[in-house]
Amino acid sequence: MPSRRTFCRDLFRASAGIALSSSLAGAADAAVFVEPKLKSGPPVRVPANFIGLGYEMSAVAQASLLRPSNQRYVNLVRGLGPEGVLRVGGIVANYTSYQPNGTSKSDRLDTIITRKDLEGFAEFLHRTGWTAIWSVNFAAGTIALAIEQARAVQAILGSRLLALELGNEVDTYGKGQPFRSAQYDYDSYRREFAEWQTAIAEAVPGIPFAAPDTADATDWVEKMASDARDRVQLLTTHYYRNGQKRGSAQQLLSPDPRLADISARLRIASQRSGLPWRMCEMNSFSGGGLPGVSDAFVGTLWTLDVMLRLAQSGCAGVNLETGVNQLGFVSSYSPIQDDGKGLNSAGAPYYGMLAFATAFAGCPQMFPVESGNEDDSLSSYVLGAGGKPCRLVIVNRSRTSDVRVSLALAGMKQARVLRLEAPSAESVVGVTFGHATVDRSGRWRPGSEEQVDGRTVDVPRMSAAVIRWS
């Protein structure tokens, strides 16, 4: 059996999946010839609800946000696919109470969720066709309060409840947050989780659970996979490329070895336990993102590429954080933006999610791709259905080199191309997919789809392409 380091290295290379057959001699900006090739091995099946969005708990208390009356928001969510997952929790979950007949309050340090809020959220889920992961206050709440909320959530959301989470980033409770002592470790958490989970499961039969929802303690997820496989139905954790103050555009233009390690470890834990794992909170840089980077086309390409990498690694889904964060402002990394006056629109990262959703429509499998002397700025992914390839996605994050892609894969002779483009890497506006933008109603329709009859497709620097064939 290969070592974890070898497994991680191979997964990291395969996820980029490019065979660079040759390049034109000369200057640094010469075109690069790319010829993706299939490797032997079974494809990875990507769940239909892989795509997702994440919210602070306070979002549900906003009467005009996640409600069926907000048709623009309904359209933006449905535009990402007929199935998906909204995860509601975040740091605000640590400061949230459920008061069924109370007065709704959306405050980062004192949020109140009412029964009416839950009913409106359930209607929103029904309109979109999506499900939800719901977090209860494990940090400062009580078992009795958690049971009351879980009972209401189960009754109101019904089949739209994917799983219940106990807490948010529980591995941080003893590290600077005022919720537990400095000695709070996995064993302490595990005992407490077992007590809460047992009580809730007995009071609310059949309710599903997700855990442990860690900030970055991958070992807690691995241990939970082994210790609680009979208690949870979904493994969850979070990922950010870096903190806002330490972030840079360059970090989004090359693969993150840390994410490759997390993916490799959790893939093994999932296979051994039989439990799927989900990156239930993630985005570029924690703290709301890095303005001019997270909300620019750099963030668009990063979003598409990191979702594809996670899908190929066996991850069961991702929830891209969006909207008002725990600090009280709209994050620059948000796929869905909010002007504070009830107008929601597609941010630059939304187009990365849109390209991902379009690539996977009707193609739920990812095939292993042979890698060669790959450039870290180039990524290639092959998708298909019924064991046959029918999509090729190329992400070119190079600032200097254009790419010429061979269409020799699977003998394709005719293809259609949808391009993901922007005026520049730093563009916050002007991002297009299929030569079209998301309109004011929250809907997207391709402006044009290129027909390619030759043997190659050109993908210019700082752009991506979804290539489809029959």
**Tens of pLDDT, residues 140-155:** 999 999 999 999 999 9
Long-range contacts of 198-203 (CB under 8 A, 24+ apart): 199/143, 199/146, 199/147, 200/143, 200/146, 200/147, 200/150, 200/164, 201/231, 203/147, 203/150, 203/151
Provide mean pLDDT across the span 429-433: 97
CATH code 2.60.40.1180 region(s) in the chain: 4-44+366-468
Cis peptide before 43 (omega within 30 of 0): no
Cα gap 91→444, rounded to integer Å? 32
Whose tokens are 């010429």? That residue is: 404
Position 341 scores a pLDDT of 80
Distances (CA, A) of 87 to 105, 397, 440: 19, 29, 25
Position 2 scores a pLDDT of 44
Which CATH superfamily is 4-44+366-468 part of? Golgi alpha-mannosidase II (2.60.40.1180)
CATH code 3.20.20.80 region(s) in the chain: 47-360
Of residues 373 and 231, which shows the higher confidence score?
231
Report pLDDT digits (tens) over 274-314: 999 999 999 999 999 999 999 999 999 999 999 999 999 99
Assigned CATH class of 47-360 = alpha beta
Percent of the chain surpassing pLDDT 70? 92
Report pLDDT digits (tens) over 88-133: 999 999 999 999 999 999 999 999 999 999 999 999 999 999 999 9
- What is the value of pTM for the model shown? 0.92
